[in-house]
Structure 1
Amino acid sequence: MDSESHLNVQKGEKENDKLLHQTELSPGGNYGVGDMGEKAPLEAGHSLEGDSLNSSFANRSGSQKTGKEAYLKSLAEEDAPQATCKKKALKVVVTVLFILIVIGSIIIWTVHEGRPKKHIGNKYFDFIPKKRVLDVYNEKDDIVFSGIIRVSDFEVGALKKCYDMEMQNDFCYIFDDGPIFKFRPYDLNPSVHCIDLMWENLKSYSPTDCFNIGHSFWYGIPNFKGGFWPLIPDQISIDSLSYMPFSKEITGHILEKLWISAIGTAVISHENIPISVSFNSGNDKTLCIQMDQKGSPIDPLTSFNYSVCVGPDIQTTWLNVRNAYFPRSPNVDLQKSNLAGILWKYETKNGLPSDTFGNFLHDLNSLGVSIPAVQYNMGWQNGVGDIKFNEQTRKIMMQFLKGKYSSSKLFLPINLACSYMSDNFKRGAGDKLFANDRQTGALKAILYDGESCAVWDTTNPDTRAFLKEAFGILQQAGTQEQTEYPQGFEFRASISNKAFPVDLFENTTDLNAINLHFVDFLATLNKTVLLETAYRMQNRSVFVQVPTLVANKEGRKCLDYVIPASLTAGIHGYPYVMTLAPSEDQVDHELYVRWLQLAVFFPALKVTNAALRFNSVVTEVLREISEYRTSFVYPLLTETIQDVELGYPIIRPMWWVEPTDYKTYTIDDQFLLGNKTLVAPVLCIGARKRDIYLPKGVWKHGGSGAQYPGNQWLRDFPVDLKDMPVFTIEDEYSLQQNDTSTSSN
């Protein structure tokens, strides 16, 4: 058939459709065409000449009845039934195909991430038993966190459903070899949702659960060996980290088990049991968690619980998780704690004749700085555990703290060790006041500073009664020489140093409980407590001391660790942090000045007499720092501490004021003091400029008074040696709105 004939056939078919339409819509529903018998289809040979047909339709009047028109009508009437059958058949086929496509789409959507998440009771968590995969969803129904329950190199068999009688649900699975895995979903508030993951019926084998962390930044693992604010899977790998109060690994000075991502997902192990954690081990982009049976003082542990939470952003998730699982911290009066100003620490590191306590106080007085509190060194007692001044120290205290410096408060270092040579050892051993080895029942011996020592068991009421008596003698209670000092103690409870080696904590009564009871005991004496290491002590009025390390970065010495570690302490619920100065043999006068400019903003500031051994630049800055803390920092701290009862940290990360500002997630060399003050210290020797990021708001530079809009970087901002880059918020409205939202959450 030529193309012209084909076009004519199409035109003829269109006319047939018109006629068919008219017939089907005729009144009375009489489908006359459909009543006709079967007719032969229109063959190609029946096609009409196009010109003749077009001419006929163009020239005839509306009333004319041409023979060709009648013929065309007859053909349409003959062919219409066949066309109708084809059309109906096609409609049926298309409808069936459409239904099949819809059903298939629903099945595919259900099987994959769009499936109804009803396995664990709400829409934020889903468990796929066949693959042992737990998926965590956000409000937008996106998977934001995913993990495999019980990662194993061998076949663990199929999971069987079980019923949890305690929780009255069937979110329960049994493995072939016995372990039971259960879920408990719940809401911390309308925007933060959690699920407890509970292992039971464990035997010698502890299952490992691994979660994908490759799609976000993470916070919460202090690490001496590399950057950890944030933890970036591509940049750091930690094969195994033991979280227990008797760990060989150095995990930093805060041992809480909370890890949170920049997008608002959190993992928390809130039980007081040892666990082992890996982060990106072998570059596998996973966070793996398991119970550590080797570290358990009770063998074996048969159950292990932890939780996963999800919220709209990191701040909202963190605040709700922190307040749900950690006790609230009290509001501390810095003035009553004798830490509003500088705590001056006396050391005898070099053993020089001029390094006397009297000369130290005299030099400070000559410098013109206030001396609200001083800390003596470890030589105040003859032997570890004596808990009384030796004769030389007693004379020094009487000479200086009873005279010219009588308004100064005294802090002393102390720990739980008691030397075998101490006068108190015989009574402690006879009355069973020391910690025992769990297996042998004998007292646990340690080596401290070259001496064999026992450890006071403060969980024993008799031990606490003895210590109360000893501290009364220390203060010469009931005599004419009775004193109020010491007003504070530096409690050296560090668990990873020479004082308390790991073998002490193995097969020993609960040393963390001993530490807790000792802190509580000191609190009953109205003493301020400084700590080196903290675990589950958020609701105590303790100041956690964070060290300042020195690292080589791009060929320059830089202050390191202190800001990330302090921010991590805040993440773990410890608002009262103070930083210890780097060793004087690691820094020169310039880096020491930079440390002072950083440390002055912390809730407490301790400066050793090493500061006086640098040049005049340091002493001049020291005088300025002392005045600056009194006039500016202390009032600011007093205001910020009011937020502590809400769970807020004092030293806050840069994402605090705008938790969805991704540019703040990797900033580890700036911090906020409350919401209104931004501190961007210089950390490297020789640096006279730095990049500074300002979050939302309008910020005023403390030195020049210049104002800068937020959400921008200030590149190469000039910072002289005596400059402290400090900015205060000018436009508080947006921050107040954010605080209101956070408080309601």
Structure 2
Amino acid sequence: MRFALLSLLLVVASSCCLWEAVSSCTSIEQRYKFPNSNIYVRLRRGDKLQYELMKGDKTLQTVTFDNFATSANLVATDSGGYTLTDGTTVVQFTLVQSGVVSGTGSDITHVRVSRDRVLKGTQPRDCFPLNTGSTHWFSGPEQKQHYWPVERQVHSNYSYLPKELDNFGVGERYWLNSAGAFVYVESNTPLFLDQNTAAYPGQLCLSATSELPYDPRVTSGKFVYHVAVAKDAKAAHKYAVKTFLGQPTGFPDERMVMHPVWSTWALYKAEVTDEVVRDFAKQILDNGFNNSQLEIDDDWEDCYGALTFRKNKFPDSKTLTDDLKALGFRVTLWIHPFINNNCTAIYEQAKSLGYLVLDHEGSSDTQWWNSKPKDAAILDFTKTEVQEWFSNRLKRLQDEDGIDSFKFDAGETSWLPSDPVIQASSSMVTPLQAVGDYVRTVAAFGDMVEVRSAQGTQELPIFVRIVDKDSEWGWNNGLLTLISSMLQMNLNGYPFVLPDMIGGNGYQERPPNKELFLRWLQANVFMPALQFSFVPWNFDDEAITISKTFTDMHATYTPYIMKLFQRAVDSGEPVNAPLWWISPTDKVAQSIYDEFLLGDDIIAAPVVVEGATQRDIYLPEGEWKDGNSDQVYHGPTWVMDYPAALDTLPYFVRVGFQLE
């Protein structure tokens, strides 16, 4: 007799349902044991079918099938798993891991849930409860309104691909909760997200369907995800790194960590010229600031896509870069993957060579922020010949114009033509290939490279830049979201975060005032890098003095940051983690959104509220020395009404920590 007959436990409850999510007063419960383990799948039917992953009698995670009609019977497979079918779709449960996993310090339960055949026109949807007791959720997509923890986010049938909408530049298909469970969706799933909608309040729902922006021609797609549970969130994340996310193979340039990047963008926008760049460099030096490099941003090209300097703005680019280097600057250049149609020569060349992304009607027309609709095209980095052609043109900029490295913009899937033709493997049914191939192409230019889009590219030893922030204070893409975006990127496996311009980008002609500028700088001090465009000398002498204090402070901690970069390479651990990382079961730490860690030894608690000159600070377990007074606190504890004048950054250092 097959093992399923021996392991099946059947309970029929004729009175009240055993848990809240089932509203019917009658439920069918069936419990199935994976062989050679104490791991079970328990099915329950009320209004909707639900399954629980269990270890013995303990429920580890609950999931609701939103639209799956079945009699709720699992059938054992020869490989030791179970299948469930409604006559059209088959769901398979496979036990991947049950036991202690080295490097996590935890027993891990890991189950793969797969539908290998999702018919066109259907959209299976599996839902995870968000509001279970005091459980919080983390990771997910980079967002413009980026709450932390992320259970407050709202999404409705949201295509899960890096895109312009909501500043979604970085986001793995990965969600982690404070109870120690995570869900990870495989990249060949055409994934959509529903979260906190009217139809799915208090739920995170994952679904799959073969519709745009995925390939609508796929008649039978896949929907595959993994659920894993550990003793706590830290152990679960370590397992996710080992199993799915991966870790970097190297790390960015140390000088970019130690000294500020100076960008022309926010201060000058597209009004850059030889004279402007020279004057900017002079201002930096005259005011006594160091630099890692000077970055020439938008509108230096003859036309968008030419990758040649416009002579009426830059009459002698090589002399300019030589002169800047003589002053102690390295010079980097803003680069994008687009070619505008009016950049006729290079556009026609790329078109004739078949180097542009086409839609299924053969059109390359697309749009980006420096074009009108249908007036631009984007290079197809899924083709190796395009990668080589583009790279050779960038090498010419290095060899002939003296450019040291590059800031690479865009890369998200939404810049592609609608319904694009992607040169992908047969197992890939999403445009993610285009993101990864672009980022890996440009990452070959070395450890000074920065990109702003990423998914599945954690191995690259480059900076990933937070998408442009506005010069605002709050949750709407302001200073507060600088912290939440940085935490999200670290928990997506991208520890080398390049924060956005200090003070934001000043869009809508709203540059930062002095207070916002200085508080933004303070928030950056214990992040991996500083990036200026707006400058302190545009305010007053006090702003210059305070800015020098904190740029020097950041440089002082650079050896520790580089040590953490190496740790990220060795173990995949974040450089800047949420506060709970050093106390994973601390319920208060799990909810903190305006403090963060540098490594395990420094707590940064910057002021992020307009007009505030004090703040409350939570310190988790341990002994913590006030970085401003040397007073020692024993956590867990709150430090209430901590005084923080405009020249003060509240931070705490673990007792016994020494800078090397």
Partner of 2:409: 491
Residue deviations 1:267-308, cap 9 Å, x none? 111223321122232263222111032132242343210011
In the superposition, relative to structure 1, how do residues 521 and 712 fare at CA in structure 2: closer, same or farther (>3 Å)? same
Aligned position for 1:427: 349
Q: 2:184 aligns with which of 268, 275, 278?
A: 268
**2:43 pairs with one of 118, 121, 128:** 128
Q: Write out per-residue CA displacement over residues 659-699 of structure 1, whole angstroms, 9 at most, x where no aligned residue.
A: 01111011000000001111000012221110111111111
The DSSP-based 3-state class of the residue aligned with 1:698 is strand
In structure 2, the CA distance between the partners of 1:251 and 1:276, relative to structure 1 (3 Å rule), is: farther
Which residue of 434, 441, 444 corresponds with 2:362?
A: 441
Residue 312 of structure 1, CA deviation: 0.7
Contact 1:693 1:714 in 2 (8 A): yes
Distance in 1 (alpha carbons) for counterparts of 2:113 and 2:654 = 42
Q: CA deviation at 1:400?
A: 4.0
Corresponding residue for 1:66? none
2:310 corresponds to 1:390: yes
Tell me the secondary structure at the aligned position of residue 514 of structure 1.
helix
Which residue, out of 612, 620, 624, partners 2:549?
Answer: 624
Q: Name the stretch that deviates more: 663-672 or 545-554.
A: 545-554
**SS at 2:148's partner residue?**
coil
Q: What does 1:81-92 align with in structure 2 at a 5 Å threshold?
A: none
Q: Which residue of structure 1 lines up, in the alignment, with residue 505 of structure 2?
A: 583
For 1:67-86, list aligned pairs within 5 A.
none
SS at match of 1:522: helix
3-state DSSP of counterpart to 2:479:
strand
**Structure 1 CA distance, aligned partners of 2:254 and 2:148?**
32
Q: Which has the higher helix share?
A: 1
Ranges in structure 1 where 5+ consecutive residues have no aligned partner: 1-104, 734-745
Does residue 1:634 correspond to 2:553, yes or no?
Answer: no
CA distance in 1, matches of 2:12, 2:352: 75
Over 3 Å counting, the alpha-carbon distance change for 1:536 and 1:318 in structure 2 is same
Q: Give the alignment partner of residue 513 of structure 1, picking from 430, 433, 456.
A: 433
Give the CA deviation at 1:599.
Answer: 1.3
Classify 1:127/1:302 alpha carbon distance in 2 versus 1 (closer, same or farther; 3 Å). farther
Q: Tell whether 2:126 aligns with 1:209.
A: yes
Distance in 2 between residues matched to 1:557 and 1:449, nearest whole Å: 22
Give the letter for the 1:651 counterpart.
Answer: N
Residues 194 and 307 of structure 1 are in contact (CA less than 8 Å); yes or no, is this contact kept in structure 2? yes
SS of equivalent to 2:530: strand
Distance in 2 between residues matched to 1:106 and 1:271, nearest whole Å: 37
**Using the alignment, how far apart are the partners of 2:245 and 2:305 within structure 1?**
32
Residue 377 of structure 2 corresponds to 454
SS in 2 for 1:133: strand
Distance 1:728 1:316 in 2: 24
Distance 1:274 1:488, change over 3 A: same
Task: For 1:677-696, list aligned pairs within 5 A.
Answer: 677-696=602-621
Question: Percent identity between the aligned chains?
Answer: 18
More off after superposition, 340-349 vs 569-578: 340-349
Q: Which has the larger radius of gyration?
A: 1
Give the match for residue 64 of structure 1: none
Q: 1:409 to 1:512 in 2, by over 3 A?
A: farther
Shift of 1:265: 1.2
Alpha-carbon separation, structure 2, partners of 1:219 and 1:319: 14
Aligned residue type for 1:703: N
Deviation of 1:223 (Å): 6.7
Distance 2:116 2:276 in 1: 60
Give the equivalent residue in structure 2 for 1:664: 589
**8 Å contact from structure 1 (residues 367, 623) kept in 2:** no
Q: Shift in Å at residue 524 of structure 1?
A: 3.1
Q: CA deviation at 1:724?
A: 1.1
* Equivalent residues of 1:459, 1:514 under 8 A apart: yes
Structure 1 residue 505, shift from structure 2 partner: 4.3
CA 1:252–1:457: 2 relative to 1, 3 Å:
closer
For residues 338-357 of structure 1, the aligned pairs below 5 Å read 338-347=256-265, 348-349=268-269, 356-357=276-277
Tell whether the 8 Å contact from 2:176 to 2:182 is kept in structure 1 after alignment: yes
> In the alignment, does 2:80 pair up with 1:169?
yes
Amino acid at match of 1:127: R
* 1:410 is the counterpart of 2:331: yes
8 Å CA contact 2:252, 2:447 repeated in 1: no
Aligned to 1:465: 388
Cα distance in 1 for partners of 2:42, 2:578 equals 34
Change (3 A) 1:147 1:333: closer
Q: Give the whole-Å Cα distance in 2 for the aligned partners of 1:310 and 1:557.
A: 32
Cα deviation per residue 1:631-671 (whole Å; 9 max; x = unaligned)?
x2211201211210201011111001110111101100000
Tell me the secondary structure at the aligned position of residue 727 of structure 1. strand
Tell me, in whole angstroms, the C-alpha distance in 2 between the residues paired with 1:292 and 1:612.
53
Residue type at the aligned position of 2:192: S
User: What is residue 530 of structure 1 aligned with on the other side?
Assistant: 450
Asked if the contact 2:64–2:127 (Cα under 8 Å) also holds between the matched residues in 1, the reply is yes
**1:686–1:354: structure 2 CA closer, same or farther, 3 Å change rule?**
farther
1:335 and 2:249 matched: no
**Cα 1:272–1:410 shift into 2, 3 Å:** farther
Alpha-carbon RMSD across the aligned residues, in angstroms, is: 3.2
Q: Does 1:706 align with 2:657?
A: no
Q: CA deviation at 1:518?
A: 3.0
Q: How many angstroms does 1:192 deviate by?
A: 1.3
Query: Could you tell me which residue of structure 2 aligns to residue 286 of structure 1?
Result: 203
- Does 2:278 align with 1:358? yes
Amino acid at match of 1:587: P
Counterpart CA distance in 2 for 1:241 and 1:490 is: 26
- Partners of 2:434 and 2:449 lie apart in 1 by 15
The answer (yes or no) to whether the contact 1:669–1:680 under 8 Å persists in 2 is yes
Structure with greater contact order relative to length (CA < 8 Å, sep ≥ 6):
2
From the superposition, tell whether residues 612 and 138 of structure 1 become closer, same or farther in structure 2 (CA, over 3 Å).
farther
After superposition, the Cα gap between the structure-2 partners of 1:146 and 1:225, relative to the gap in structure 1 and judged at 3 Å, is same
- Figure out how many residues of one structure are paired with residues of the other and give that number: 603
Pairwise CA distance, 1:163:
5.4
What whole-Å deviation, never above 9, does each CA across 1:552-598 have from its counterpart, x for those lacking one? 669x9972211111111111111011221313425310111000111
| Change in CA separation of 1:160 and 1:118 when aligned onto 2, cut-off 3 Å | closer
Aligned to 2:4: none
Q: Give the conservation status (yes or no) of the 8 Å contact 2:40–2:55.
A: no
